[in-house]
Structures are given as C-alpha cells and as structure tokens.
Amino acid sequence: MALRTADRIAEQAKAILVAEGSEAVSMRRVAGAAGVTAMAIYRHYPNREALLGAVAERGRADLAERWRRRPREDNPRAELRAVLNALLDFALDQPRLYALLHSEPPWHEDGVARDFRSDDSPALNAVVAAIDEGMHRGVFAPDDVWEAALSIVALLHGLISLHHAGRLGVSDPEFRVLCGTAMTRLLHGISA
C-alpha cells in the first residue's frame, strides 16, 4: 500500500512539474493533488528535494525506456542522428521535465549527484554507444568516445536551453533545422 501511495505522490508531483515547472512543486500542493495529508507525504518523501529526486528518477527511467524501444539504424552516422533527434523530441515535447533532468540541480532520490559517465544519463549513453560503434567501424575518427559524446550533447543541450529560454526567436520547426545544421557542422569535424 505504501508503495502505491509513494508512486501516486510522485506522479502528481510530475504532473505539476510538467504543467508548471519545478518551482510549482510544493509538498502541500502535491499532497493535496495526491489525496494525502500534508504531513502524510513526509512518510514517503522526507523533503521536496527527495520528491523531485523521485520524479527525476522516474523521468530518467522513462527516457531510458524510450531509447530502448526506438528502432535502431545500421549506419552509425544515421544512428547518431536518430539518437540526437530522439533527445530533441523529448526536449521539445517535455520541456519542463527535460529541464529537471538536464538543467536544474542533479535531483536524485538519494541526494547524491552522479557523473555523466554513470548510467544516469540515458541520452548521453545512447550517444556514446552510437559514436563508439562509428569509431569501431571507421565512420568516425578515433577519439575519446566520452569527450566526443559530451561535446555533441553539450552543443545540443546549449541550443535547447537557448530555445527554451526564448533567446533564439525561432519556431520549433525552425529550431529543428538549426539543430540539424549545427550537428552537421560538428559531425563533419569528427568524420573519418
């Protein structure tokens, strides 16, 4: 029973976050939405940070599942573009959840921040796998796979952050074109 209540609380916190952003997630508001008392929520989550950590953990798990279910490309260059497009889709479809996972403090249920080389970043791990395969097949020049992946993801993340902040002044379709052009420029630099 407690697990179901904790899940319901986390789902209500996620719904508020997706609709309004993390700043709108308060223990009292989530408790009301989940149908529990304000004090009862603390039996499942000791503080707001732990609750946001639970939302982030679920978000990472959902994103990892999205990566696992998507069709794979045989060509490493096409696979890398598919991975980056999936990340872009997520960022545009779920901007507030994307921000929680990528732009805000590293929320984890246990309160411990993790390095990107951990299994904590489904997006980065998918980029690493595509680049590593491309390097092994001679499509991409030999390099440090983690640094190459981080460079690519950092470029896309920076563009996404600027777009979410309204700093680029382009529509979502125009933004997709901009991202594709930026990735072409970057990938040309790592091609064999």
- pLDDT (0 to 100) of residue 2: 54
Categorize the per-residue pLDDT at 62 as very low, low, confident or very high, splitting at 50, 70 and 90: confident
> Does residue 140 sit in helix, strand or coil?
strand
- Distant-in-sequence, close-in-space partners of 45: CB < 8 Å, separation ≥ 6: 6, 9, 27, 51, 54
CA 154 to CA 87: how far, in whole Å?
A: 12
Higher pLDDT, 36 or 67: 36
pLDDT for 115 equals 60
Q: Which amino acid is at 113?
A: A
pLDDT at 64: 83
Q: Please give the DSSP secondary-structure letter assigned to residue 108.
A: -
Q: Is CATH 1.10.357.10 the classification given to domain 59-190? A: yes
pLDDT given at position 36: 95
Ranges 45-49, 109-113, 174-178: which has the least confidence: 109-113
What is the per-residue pLDDT for 80?
Answer: 94
End-to-end CA distance of the chain: 56
The residues spanned by each domain of the chain are: 1-46, 59-190
Record the pTM.
0.84
**According to the model, what pLDDT value does residue 1 have?**
46
* pLDDT tens for each residue of 143-168: 999 999 999 999 999 999 999 999 99
Report the range of poorest mean pLDDT among 27-31, 74-78, 98-102, 120-124: 120-124
Rounded Cα distance between 142 and 122, Å, is: 23
3-state secondary structure 33-95: HHCCCCCCHHHHCCCHHHHHHHHHHHHHHHHHHHHHHCCCCCCHHHHHHHHHHHHHHHHHHCH
Mean pLDDT across 109-134: 76
CATH of 1-46, one of 3.30.2010, 4.10.860, 1.10.1740, 1.10.10: 1.10.10
Q: Using 50, 70 and 90 to split pLDDT, how confident is the model at 9?
A: very high
Give the lowest-confidence range in 66-70, 76-80, 90-94, 134-138: 66-70
Cα distance between residue 163 and residue 23, in whole Å: 20
Locate 170 and state its tokens. 């382009």
Q: Is the pLDDT reported for residue 70 higher than 50?
A: yes
Choose between 191 and 133: higher pLDDT: 133
